[in-house]
Structure 1
């Protein structure tokens, strides 16, 4: 049997299309698979980035190749200005942006809707789910959740976690300074729903897909989680 090269393996993946959505409430690049999608995933970026962040693009490419609709969104603070971090005072508006995106893409598939994102984006998504429950989404996908500021484990960002009632998957780099795997396990133990942590060895907060196959490993975890919790 002939060996399959990386290039040929890539070409064997199902075809996907990427379209841009720009409305008053939503700015997104949407990856749609060829055929009926299994589920829909809305992903928001971290505090220093935008929807073109390397990790979001890698996740969207990999997940869409496996049959998911993936919407990479710009949060409202990023739409207001192209650079700079978010302000705590405007985080409620960022959560409203996540709500608008979930509403916009809710009917993209007959499967469940996951919402989440990387670092700050995932945190805001988790807070929105804590506030709205299953009215907003059926599950959470959090990559590099910023559990506490680096070097400040006493400043945990966990107050809202007991209010989350949807299945939650956390992808965590073993060298992430925003929280150890043990700290993360204790934190998501506060969530009143099925949870899972996937630890990626020797990976930091950025989950750099150029150094390790973090997108593929995350997609593997999403596949397994979807089958276990939603039978899809």
Structure 2
């Protein structure tokens, strides 16, 4: 497969004002663009504890772009602030996270043509799932979806998933501590949602050594499943 380009707006150089007003938008967009034909664009948000250029996010973006999917990454305000001063912070309130998603989606939608999907790792994917229908995204892709908080499997956060209309792919580890297979198969999910299970994998899609599988294999499998899902979307042509 063709090697994809990894380009960050301003080459990763954060202007002085970024320290005072960190947020979404152009300053935090990180693109992985296919060298060859483009099949779709995916805006991918990070999880609660790791930035947009974590090893997991880098690997997924690179593997998807090698398969024809352009990936745009961004950081929520609290993570952008951490990049500026290296101080850890908790995630912003949900309202602010959702507004950030709206701003980034609008920016990317104005810049690209063709199918546009949204999604993310863990929290980033969950926030995207709350907005997918509202934004009119062509698809939703969630990697390691947090169906419940750690240790709170008796309080699932799935009500909105029963009504979701956006075509959705969730790639989930069978032993994910925030949504293992035994619990998730009991939930009532929208027919628009597909769940792809990874054998013996955890929240980061990493399998047990005893499974005979590797993390790299699971990441490759994830990229293949996601790219195939996006390829198969039936996107209605825009009206003149």
Distance 1:103 1:63, change over 3 A: same
What is the CA-CA distance between 1:145 and the residue it aligns to? 0.6
Aligned to 1:225: 229
1:124 match: secondary structure: helix
Aligned to 2:238: none
1:95 match: secondary structure: helix
Aligned to 1:10: none
Q: Are 2:115 and 1:116 aligned?
A: no
What is the CA-CA distance between 1:186 and the residue it aligns to? 4.0
1:230 match: secondary structure: coil
Paired with 2:196 and 2:139, the residues of 1 have a C-alpha distance of 16
Q: Are 2:117 and 1:129 aligned?
A: no
| Structure 1 stretches lacking a partner, 5+ long | 1-12
Q: Are 2:176 and 1:176 aligned?
A: yes
Aligned to 2:7: 19
Deviations 1:54-98 (A, max 9, x none): 2111110000001111012111221233423314xx221111212
Paired residues of 1:185 and 1:197 also in contact (CA < 8 A) = no
Deviations 1:146-200 (A, max 9, x none): 111233211111132234210000000111111122432444x432x52211111
2:150 match: secondary structure: coil
Q: Are 2:59 and 1:54 aligned?
A: no
Paired residues of 1:118 and 1:144 also in contact (CA < 8 A) = yes
Aligned to 1:159: 159
2:184 match: secondary structure: helix
Paired with 1:69 and 1:221, the residues of 2 have a C-alpha distance of 15
Paired residues of 1:28 and 1:71 also in contact (CA < 8 A) = yes
Paired with 2:192 and 2:79, the residues of 1 have a C-alpha distance of 32
1:226 match: secondary structure: helix
Distance 1:17 1:165, change over 3 A: same
Paired residues of 2:7 and 2:31 also in contact (CA < 8 A) = yes
| Structure 2 stretches lacking a partner, 5+ long | 11-17, 208-213, 236-240
2:100 match: secondary structure: helix
Alignment root-mean-square deviation, CA:
2.4
